[in-house]
Amino acid sequence: MKKKVAVVTGGAGFLGSHLCDRLLKEGMKVVCVDNLITGSLKNIEHLFGKEDFVFFNYDVTNFIHVPGIVDYILHFASPASPIDYLKLPIQTLKVGSLGTHKALGLAKEKNARFLLASTSEIYGDPEIHPQREEYWGNVNPIGPRGVYDEAKRFGEALTMAYHRAHGVDTRIVRIFNTYGPRMRLNDGRALPAFVSQALKNEDVTVFGDGSQTRSFCYVDDLIEGIFRLLMSEVHEPVNIGNPSEITIERFAEEVIKIIGSKSKIVHKELPQDDPKVRQPDISKAKNLLGWEPKVNREEGLKITIDYFKKELFEN
């Protein structure tokens, strides 16, 4: 039987690289495409030399050509942390619009199944809690975060348009806060910032009063959910995340405690349009995919902290 071929855009990123691992494990050939604007070869160097893995350094906002049969396209290319998309606003908008358009064009040409990596950020600063897929969101389109939020919202609209107008077999995953090995220490997200500060016994910076909430999902759980969605027949968006909600202040305290750090928490001004709450309603994922997260936060944090220790002190 011929091996299935999967194209992963943004495959050298945090989530994309874990996805490449999983698809290879499932016996597929993987074509990883990344221009390394925020991704890193370090995330995929363990895959170089494998006969079923190939990497192209390429910007997917340009026309994408992949020779031969393609069965799956997973579009994960995008700056995904506030520090990145605030620094790269136009690139973020382009990869969410032009990049999604080019990846969908490839899916149409190859008659391939297409999965869009969307985000909980499409809900903005939500007025409904927890967030369910039927909620349309509360996004500031012209605020500094709008470049990411609206790029993803447009990506979803374009994906559904290709599904309805061209019959492309599409999937949309709305990814909530995820953590684990291969996150960048300096990517501006809460977890890497807290861990790197706590490991150095520096002050741990919490924005606002720390009462804002997030729900953190361990990367292996997330990848399992994405794979199940890819293999399902569900075309509508599906939330994948961990519904265990925690305040940012308490999360910082947990990190400090697990590390055994001498760090103290300090507060800085909350960035504009920062969501006050974030928690997925995963009823749809449970009912349609038989999926729910398995790794508890303490267990996932210990694995992630060990990874960051190596990054900080052994490199």
Residue 290 has pLDDT above 90, yes or no: yes
Residues 208 and 273: beta-carbon distance below 8 Å: no
Q: How confident is the model at residue 288 (pLDDT cuts 50, 70, 90)?
A: very high
Kindly report the number of other CB atoms within 10 A of residue 266's CB atom: 12
- Mean pLDDT over residues 185-212, rounded? 91
Class assignment of domain 5-179+219-242+283-289? alpha beta
Per-residue pLDDT at 271: 81
Q: What is the DSSP letter of 287?
A: I
pLDDT, mean of residues 177-204: 92
233 vs 288: CA distance, rounded Å: 9
Q: What digits encode the pLDDT tens for the residues 243-266?
A: 999 999 999 999 999 999 999 999
Residue-wise pLDDT tens digits, 2-58: 999 999 999 999 999 999 999 999 999 999 999 999 999 999 999 999 999 999 999
Distance CA 37, CA 163 (A): 29
Residue whose structure tokens are 């990123």 = 13
**Which single residue is written with the structure tokens 């309805």?**
164
Residue type present at position 315: N
Q: Is the pLDDT of residue 201 over 70?
A: yes
Q: Which positions are catalytic?
A: 148
Domain boundaries, the chain: 5-179+219-242+283-289
pLDDT at 315: 61
Q: What is the mean pLDDT of the chain?
A: 95
At residue 82, the pLDDT reads 87
Residues 6 or more apart in contact with residue 233 via CB below 8 angstroms:
none
Fill in the amino acid letter for 268: K
Q: Which helix (H) or strand (E) holds 74?
A: strand 72-75
CB-based contact 68:43 (threshold 8 Å): no
List residues bridging with 213 in a β-sheet.
247
| Per-residue pLDDT tens digits for 230-240 | 999 999 999 99
Give the pLDDT of residue 200: 93
Give CA–CA dist 112/72, Å, rounded.
Answer: 5
Whether 94 shows a pLDDT value over 80: the answer reads yes
